[in-house]
């Protein structure tokens, strides 16, 4: 049986216990704060990072470099037959391109790089599926096919308190960033083929939850036996309210809960939440 290593980047936001359980290898992006650079999840904890955000610090991220991927790939190929790397959307970061360059320089025949066209737990759910299959002994072809089948089926709804962080990170124009900062307006964002798009604006947390529930009901999906991903940056109480509503209104009992790492926190800010699920 082929030994297959599953690799991703630190913006996949997979809970640490599952990273260990399914032997997932993480290549960290770099977080830059006040002239100091940290490897996401390695040199700085989530608690330290969100503490700095509360102090008003405005971090930036730097993509993982080809050299960083090369080091990981070379090391893994000593003990694995094949590598499948599932990387956050190429429309949001150059990290995917770095992985492709590294693949070509290390061993193109033994490495597959997949542009997930997702970020955060959207990417994380793909990675977890691949890792579970690898542990169970699936072939590389089966794993790659499954991931490509799932990419267009992953849906998510994210709500931010402020779009300042996305704007300063170059992910949104200033005109769109302004709307999130007035009158308790909560912008709701969704993934559009690898890019973040504002789909609506609501006032207050209760209306955010109502919007999420209504959207999920309108999909026609029976959620009672499905796992739904939940994520927050530094807003756990709000996430608990969302989970309670999903349990009572949609009958959901299985949740993949995570706190976003420094990379997502850099662009989403300290008051963001998200719900992730797979389409029919």
What is d(CA 256, CA 87) in angstroms, rounded to the nearest whole number? 20
What pLDDT, on a 0 to 100 scale, did the predictor assign at position 186?
Answer: 85
What is d(CA 199, CA 204) in angstroms, rounded to the nearest whole number? 16
Q: Give the three-state DSSP class for 78.
A: coil
Q: Where are the domains of the chain?
A: 4-29+64-151, 154-278
Residue for token pair 């709500």: 159
Which of 3.10.450.50, 3.30.1180.10, 3.20.10.10, 3.40.1390.10 is the CATH number of 154-278?
Answer: 3.30.1180.10
DSSP conformation class of 269:
-
Q: Per residue in 17-55, pLDDT tens?
A: 999 999 999 999 999 999 999 999 899 999 999 999 989
Q: Per residue in 133-142, pLDDT tens?
A: 999 999 999 9
The answer to whether 115 and 103 are in contact (CB under 8 A) is: no
Look at 171 and 2; give whichever has higher pLDDT: 2
CA-CA-CA-CA torsion for 177, 273, 183, 214, nearest 10 degrees?
110
Which run of H or E residues covers position 264? helix 262-268
The residues facing 5 across adjacent strands are: 83
What pLDDT, on a 0 to 100 scale, did the predictor assign at position 1?
Answer: 85
Q: Per residue in 156-166, pLDDT tens?
A: 999 988 777 66
Main-chain phi, psi angles of 130, to 5 degrees: -65, -45
The answer to whether 55 and 33 are in contact (CB under 8 A) is: no
Look at 147 and 179; give whichever has higher pLDDT: 147
Q: Same CATH topology for 4-29+64-151 and 154-278?
A: no
The answer to whether 197 and 224 are in contact (CB under 8 A) is: no
Looking at the structure, give the CATH architecture of the domain made up of residues 4-29+64-151: 3-Layer(aba) Sandwich (3.40)
The answer to whether 267 and 166 are in contact (CB under 8 A) is: yes
* Euclidean distance between the first and the last CA atom of the chain, given in angstroms as a whole number: 32
């Amino acid at each position: 049986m082929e030994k297959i290593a599953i690799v991703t980047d630190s913006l996949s936001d997979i809970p640490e216990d599952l990273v260990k359980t399914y032997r997932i290898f993480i290549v960290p992006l770099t977080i830059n704060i006040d002239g100091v650079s940290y490897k996401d999840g390695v040199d700085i904890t989530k608690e330290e990072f969100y503490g700095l955000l509360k102090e008003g610090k405005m971090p930036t991220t730097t993509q993982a470099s080809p050299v960083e991927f090369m080091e990981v790939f070379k090391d893994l190929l000593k003990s694995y037959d094949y590598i499948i790397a599932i990387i956050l959307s190429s429309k949001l970061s150059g990290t995917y391109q770095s992985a492709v360059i590294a693949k070509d320089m290390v061993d193109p025949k033994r490495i597959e790089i997949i542009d997930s066209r997702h970020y955060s737990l959207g990417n994380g759910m793909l990675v977890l599926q691949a890792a579970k299959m690898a542990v169970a002994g699936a072939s590389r072809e089966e794993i790659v096919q499954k991931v490509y089948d799932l990419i267009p089926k992953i849906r998510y709804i994210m709500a931010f308190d402020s779009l300042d962080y996305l704007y300063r990170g170059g992910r949104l124009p200033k005109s769109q960033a302004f709307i999130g900062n007035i009158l308790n307006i909560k912008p709701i964002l969704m993934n559009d083929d690898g890019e973040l798009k504002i789909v609506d604006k609501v006032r207050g947390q209760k209306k955010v939850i109502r919007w999420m529930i209504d959207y999920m009901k309108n999909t026609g999906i029976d959620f009672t036996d499905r796992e739904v991903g939940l994520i927050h940056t530094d807003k756990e109480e709000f996430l608990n309210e969302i989970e309670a509503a999903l349990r009572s209104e949609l009958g959901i009992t299985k949740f993949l809960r995570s706190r976003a790492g420094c990379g997502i926190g850099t662009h989403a800010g300290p008051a963001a939440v998200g719900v992730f699920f797979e389409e029919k």
